[in-house]
Amino acid sequence: MKSFTTFITEAISSQSVPKPSNDNEADMTVAFGRFNPPTTGHERLMNKVKQVAGRGNYEIYPSRSNDPQKNPLDPETKIGYMQQMFPQHAKHIVNNPKAKTIFDALKGANERGAKSVNIVVGQDRQSEFQNLANKYNNKLYKFDRINVISAGDRDPDGEGISSMSASKLRKAAADDDFDTFRSGIPKALKDDAARKLYDSLRQGMNVQKQQNETWKIAPKFDWKNLRENYMNGNIFRVGDIVENDNTGLIGKIIRTGANYIIAVTEENIMFKSWIKDITEKFTEISGVPASQREVGTDALRDYTQRLSHNPIIINFINKSRRKRAKSNA
């Protein structure tokens, strides 16, 4: 006859042991980026997104931004090249004019039934996305779990192909250095197509007008002039409309710091950005086309006045005043 201890031991060992859960399992995995232009570094990002997704679905959201500085390729042109460069991911690259920010991507996934989501970003952006995505959970969307996962180190100044960034390729195009530019473009894109992309980039940047202005098209490579223009009040002033390059959020600057700004969108989303990660923006806000939103126009003035009466801005300003008064007391 078996002892009671033996009986219990055998009973426990006969039970199936559940497999440990994968913390990254989610209904949807997404990535949001400018891809202007797409590079070999972006191929690494997409491969990481697919790996994280596992058997689940994944979506790549290119931003809809278009300007002569950091976003010289229009969305349709950019996405067309992405599909050629990354054929294995082509069907997962989302071409949706309404998906302008990371929040649009998250809301879309949630509305289609996703209860959990992974967001894959460069390591240098992980903290920013972690804070924003979770801050607005249960406000703009409702997920049971949000995982923000690093795609690995980003080194825009590195020498290897893996370090090829869009900033480096925009600078190469501005410097009329096709060899460097070509080295950062996936081999899946043939040489003649790479040359057309190069020419389109140079045309979009108006290189003749922006000579010696690296701080505008690739600020990471000319931090000194970027900060000098900022400190002299030439750019990113209180009241200016800017876009966060990482998230696509567009808002009015309500406060400036030594090397950062705080802005708020029309939807009352407040965000903090380093000056290297923002671009002045006078485009489609509130449905008003760019041609009617230039500096000095009534449309831009009306918009900024509406934001000035925004409760979230008023509360922020009042808190700042109370904090300064307390510190001076």
- The stretch 28-51 carries a mean pLDDT of 96
- Each residue of 114-144: pLDDT tens digit? 999 999 998 889 999 999 999 999 999 999 9
Global confidence as pTM: 0.78
CATH 3.40.50.620 location in the chain: 22-155+163-209
**Distance between CA 121 and CA 151 in Å, rounded?**
6
| Total count of residues recorded for the chain | 329
CA dihedral 304, 306, 307, 312 (to 10 degrees): 170
Q: Does domain 222-328 have CATH number 2.40.50.100?
A: no
pLDDT score of 212: 62
CB distance 161 to 184 below 8 Å? yes
How would you classify residue 54: left for phi > 0, otherwise alpha for psi between -120 and 50, otherwise beta?
left
CATH 2.30.30.390 location in the chain: 222-328
- Each residue of 274-293: pLDDT tens digit? 999 999 986 444 444 444 44
* CATH number assigned to the domain covering 22-155+163-209: 3.40.50.620
Above 70 in pLDDT, residue 16?
Answer: no
